[in-house]
Amino acid sequence: MPIELHDDVVALMREVARDIVMPRYQNLRTEEISEKAADDFVTIADKESEIRLAEGLSRILPDAAIIGEEACAADPAILERAGDGLNWIIDPIDGTGNFAAGRSPFGIMIALADAGTTLAGWILDPLTGRLCHATLGAGSYIDGEQVRAKESGDPLPIAALAVYFMSDEERADIQKRAEGKFAVVDIPRCAAEQYPRLVLGQNDVSVFARTLPWDHAAGTLFLNEAGGCCQRLDGSPYMVGDMRRGLLGASSPRLWDLAAGVLFR
């Protein structure tokens, strides 16, 4: 089923990027940006993008419910059923903080999940047009070409650590553990960019504290189907609806084992 839906989903995402997201890029008024919580932004483009995506996805597959980031912000009870049944998962603009500041990267992310298992995922970069997608059991693709994750090849594995949702104690601990074992680089604060970096060999390891489905359902599938490894810190698979904190992604199973041993055990 996901493969049959692919062209329609991509066409919808590109339409929303063209008609809603890009016209607002570097063109937002102050009153069109607000904070849902400290350092967690939303813009008029996020809201309009989610409405259009939800409408379009409901036409493409009416049997699937909608789990959208902004809808969940307005009604947290929606998130409680994220692991039940067939659901479209929508991140209307991932990396909103970057988008609101008029800089890249940012992206649109869509996933289709059934009973918590992600069946398909799509990640669109509206600036470049790059499309990453994956289907469970059928591999990962960038702009139609199948891809396999690769390690960076640097002497020290390159680690991008999303520590901004950690406590001060957690942040200090992981930074100390990483010292001398990894080359730590800035994370783009955009999962729509971070997951492709792991597949393309730009980064080797990423740690995420917060694991909301719109940020990670599509990317986790994309990395795993490319031959990388993205799992919970205890080695269990990422499931939509599982609201535990902590997720570790790596460009290979070998590096996942290395990072888990150094950073968390």
pLDDT at 1 over 70: no
What is the mean predicted confidence (pLDDT) over 202-213? 96
pLDDT above 90 for 166: no
Give span(s): CATH 3.40.190.80, the chain: 158-264
Q: For the chain, what is the mean pLDDT?
A: 95
Distance (Å, whole) CA 47 – CA 49:
5
What is the 8-class DSSP label of residue 165?
T
pTM, 2 dp: 0.96
> What is the mean pLDDT of the segment spanning 260-264?
95
Predicted confidence band of residue 2 (pLDDT cuts 50, 70, 90): confident
Quick one: average pLDDT of 185-191? 94
**Predicted pLDDT at 193:** 98
**pLDDT given at position 174:** 92
Q: Fold for domain 158-264?
A: D-Maltodextrin-Binding Protein; domain 2 (3.40.190)
Say which amino acid occupies 154.
D
Average of per-residue pLDDT across 66-82: 95
Please determine, for residue 31, whether its predicted confidence score (pLDDT) is greater than 90. yes
Cα–Cα distance between 121 and 252 in angstroms, integer?
Answer: 20
Calculate mean pLDDT across residues 89-105.
97
Dihedral (CA of 135, 130, 7, 242) sign: positive
Q: What is the pLDDT of residue 37?
A: 73
Q: Is the pLDDT of residue 147 over 90?
A: yes
SS (H, E, C) 56-81: HHHHHCCCCEEEEHHHHHHCHHHHHH
Q: How confident is the model at residue 265 (pLDDT cuts 50, 70, 90)?
A: confident
Would you state the pLDDT for residue 227?
98
Distances (CA, A) of 82 to 47, 72, 111, 225, 238: 20, 10, 12, 22, 13
Question: Taking the CA atoms of the chain, what radius of gyration do you get in angstroms?
Answer: 17
Segments of the chain assigned to CATH 3.30.540.10: 2-147
CATH superfamily of domain region 2-147: Fructose-1,6-Bisphosphatase, subunit A, domain 1 (3.30.540.10)
Mean pLDDT to the nearest integer, 194-211:
96
What is residue 165's predicted lDDT score, i.e. its pLDDT? 82
